[in-house]
Amino acid sequence: MTEIKSLSEADAANELMRLAKTIAYHGKRYHADDAPEIPDADYDALVRRNNELEAAFPHLIRADSPNNQVGAAVEASPLAKITHAQRMMSLDNAFAGEDVEEFAARVRRFLNLEGSEPVALTAEDKIDGLSCSLRYEKGALVQAATRGDGSVGEDVTPNVATIADIPQTLCPCEGRGPSPAAGDGPLPSQGHGIPDVFEIRGEVYMAKADFTALNDRLMEEGRALAAQREVDFDPATVRQFANPRNAAAGSLRQKDASVTASRPLRFLAHGWGEVSGVPEATQFAMMKRIESWGVPVSPLLARFESVEGVLAHYAAIEKQRAELPYDIDGVVYKVDRLDWQQRLGFVAKAPRWAIAHKFPAERAQTTLEAIDIQVGRTGKLTPVGRLVPVTVGGVVVSNVTLHNRDEIGRLGVRPGDRVVVQRAGDVIPQVVENLTRDEPRAPYLFPGHCPVCGSEAVAEEGEVDVRCTGGLICNAQKFERLRHFVSRGALDIEGLGEKSIAEFLELGWLDKGPADIFRLRKHRAELLGREGWKETSVDKLFAAIEAKRAPDAARLLFGLGIRHVGAVTARDLLKGLGDIARLPEKAAEIHAYLEANPQAEGESDGKYMTRKVDAFKAILEVRADGIGPAVAEALADFFHEPHNRELWDDLLSEASPPLYVVETRASEVSGMTVVFTGKLETMSRDEAKSQAEALGAKAAGSVSAKTDLVVAGPGAGSKLKQASALGIRVIDEAEWAAIVAAAGG
């Protein structure tokens, strides 16, 4: 990672843009989807890098900075939305004792305290659950909501009513005596009773033992259902929860509260939101008061007069972390005096008076027994390490991600090696160290062929991922490839959707690839005997298939799913070649050129790239800027694979695409460069680009000084601003339709 001091402003701005998008994506996967893809430690590292860049370049802070975001927006959900009366904030993180000391020092500086005046802090374990706000009015629970994006959450009131830990009515217990360390003046209070409005905030969670029991129960229910249907039981068909947090989130966010009632959820309070009064003057006393009302709080909550005290408590909690009945990922410290909390206030998304001291990733040693290669639906080969099972942070780990070929090389791992495994968060663990890499054993050889179909597996220049070139003949990719082949942008076969493709694949009717689609008619009698298929629907499907026996050549090429060959690139290729049947011979010429013309010694990368571009454009007879080495080499790899040549020949024996001819009409945009931006409401982006080409215009993807016209739909953003800044003519979709109509389109 580039040192910040050596970054230019442009580089810093670009990295901040990438970080904002990446952090937002992974935040949504964690908070909204309950399906994190990276370890907590990796996510925290992204946030730290963003914070360091913002500190070094404060004038480059973006409106979508992660420091302005809390949680994730509530998107498609069967639950109603609730706007929080007081925003549910996030917490800043500390990762070392020095960070905690700096937090306490910041508090002192902000409050302008004398050096001798103690800053009392509370410390409690940070539950890894789902944040929830409970609104009580006159002691009765009237509303419960998830955090959502901090401002708007989901209404889970009926669901929360089923959680035994959460009382429907607060106990009006008089509780404790006077609070310790009272501040300079009283806060709004109603004596020692329950305020008319009091929002208690905390975490809904599932205990580890309850989580294991729930997954066991789901497995048994699946086994019983299979027995009832008299079919073989397949454990893979049972949807189990990945971890206790996912189980808690999935159980709470149910439209049917009876499902929530069947799940063993619990609750621990850690603070409050909107209130009409605060009966105590300190955080610790107020949490004890909430506990006296019948709401559980952490049994590890404690109050300390020094940083040394909270750090000792942190160490004690970390030591017993694996034995705790629930998952935690750190310890939270809060300034105890509530009047000081009020003075300290908040930054964009977090209070100045609190911080989360995160635990380091948990590690353990074990033996790597084997390396398996999994093939994804897009052909990516992913290595997975099989371990001698080991307990890491209370969880038994037997599989570990090895990411890609380069990561295996970096670690130098081989079956039989002793490795250090790290579990950070609840995603699949990773190997962080190879303890026996110096032992004299042969290195692991990453396969050069797909383990599923035997096709060549290659990594493109500049990429670390190795991909199977088998495409449609590879069983691991077949479903996704066929779904793409019949999709709207490709052959657009009406009535042949995902469900039908899956059914026909299972029956073995599409084993040879897309050509089998045109041979489905021979299964007519069998299909009529299957559930959901009637004579009308079967005949409609076959008619739709027959209508595509002479498909548009560019759509057919796009439908093959060759890497880097999108809809526009397919059209650009065929503008030069005209006849799609010429592609295999052209691909062979590219392959031969690459073998005969490697980069010469002393030849710069730039010169070599220019030489390849010129050669490939000559071979493919195209002039389009979008046809570069990546496209040409992807074509060469695809047609060099014998299985793909067989598939191609089989397909062209059933489908006969006519010569590709671009007919252009004179129009007011002939010779212009047109950019489409924003949402198009009456046509797809591909259709709009086709219209532009038919009118003699060039459809570009970005705005520049060479752009002549921008067609902007709703939601147009940076491209529209750039067009305005450059003085480029901008029209809307209706005006574009009028131009097309005027040209006879």
Residue numbers annotated as active site: 126
The closest of 115, 179, 119 to 308, measured between CA atoms, is: 119
Two structure tokens written together for 33: 């989807």
- Whether 565 and 622 have beta carbons less than 8 Å apart is answered as no
Two structure tokens written together for 465: 């991922």
Q: Between the CA atoms of 497, 498, 502 and 504, what dihedral angle is there, to the nearest 10 degrees?
A: 10
The closest of 563, 466, 477, 541 to 513, measured between CA atoms, is: 477
- Whether 203 and 265 have beta carbons less than 8 Å apart is answered as no
The closest of 491, 485, 470 to 647, measured between CA atoms, is: 470
Q: Between the CA atoms of 356, 361, 362 and 366, what dihedral angle is there, to the nearest 10 degrees?
A: 180
How far apart are alpha carbons 82 and 150 in whole angstroms? 11
How far apart are alpha carbons 525 and 517 in whole angstroms? 16
- For 334, phi then psi, to 5°, come to -135, 140
Going by the DSSP 8-state scheme, the letter that residue 533 receives in this structure is -
Q: Which uninterrupted H or E stretch holds 458?
A: strand 457-458
Write the CB contacts of 112 (distance below 8 Å, at least 6 apart in sequence).
none
Integer Rg of the chain from CA: 31
Could you please report the per-residue DSSP string of 79-118?
Answer: SPEEE-SS------EE-SHHHHHHHHHHHHHHHT--TTS-
How far apart are alpha carbons 230 and 223 in whole angstroms? 10
Query: Nearest 5 degrees, angle CA 533-CA 535-CA 536?
Result: 95
CA distances from 127 to 29, 250, 681 (A): 19, 17, 45
Could you please report the per-residue DSSP string of 584-648?
Answer: HHHHHHHHHHHHH-PPPTT--HHHHHHHHHHHHHHHHT---TT--HHHHHHHHHHHHSHHHHHHH
Name residue 37's beta-bridge partners: none
Two structure tokens written together for 110: 């902000």
Query: Nearest 5 degrees, angle CA 432-CA 45-CA 64?
Result: 150
Going by the DSSP 8-state scheme, the letter that residue 50 receives in this structure is H
3-class secondary structure, 465: coil
3-class secondary structure, 141: strand
Could you please report the per-residue DSSP string of 215-261?
Answer: HHHHHHHHHHHHHHHT----GGGS---SSHHHHHHHHHS-SSHHHHH
